[in-house]
Amino acid sequence: EPEAHGLEFARGEVRCVCGCCETWQRWVSGKPLLTSAGGLPVTVHGGGAPLVRYEVITAELVESLAIWFAGLAGRRPAPLRVLEVGAGDGRLTLHLRAALRRRGLSSREVQLVATDSGARELAACEPGAVEA
């Protein structure tokens, strides 16, 4: 609803200027969301490089995947095996596993495996790494 979001129209672009959408954009781009008592930015990622999000996990995404996987699992005798490559901290798999359990499916029907090299986090720890 445009009235609720304070939309700004300029140069053919539509941009929301409400506090919620601004916070959302900052979170997705990895910018600090909080400030300390002294007004200094505090990153959610412990002060290292910004944690830019390439995947935004929503309830709709998780539920859609759970419905899809449940349907696939119901059509096969062996368990459905799902491999998430580049899983980061495994958050998607965690929420997906809970959604499948709510549908009565266990790892006997759907096996979820999350894997990630950790290269992104390790690179931030390298000597000479630059904070963005």
Model pLDDT for residues 44-55, shown as the tens digit of each residue: 444 455 556 667
For 23: left if phi > 0, alpha if psi spans -120 to 50, otherwise beta; the answer is: alpha
Residue 70: what pLDDT? Answer: 94
| The pair of three-digit structure tokens given for residue 94, joined into one six-digit string | 């965690």
Residue 125: what pLDDT? Answer: 64
Neighbours of 12 (CB within 10 A): 5
C-alpha distances (whole Å) from 63 to each of 22, 24, 57, 102, 125 are 26, 21, 10, 10, 35
pTM, two decimal places: 0.58
**Most distant CA pair in the chain, distance:** 60
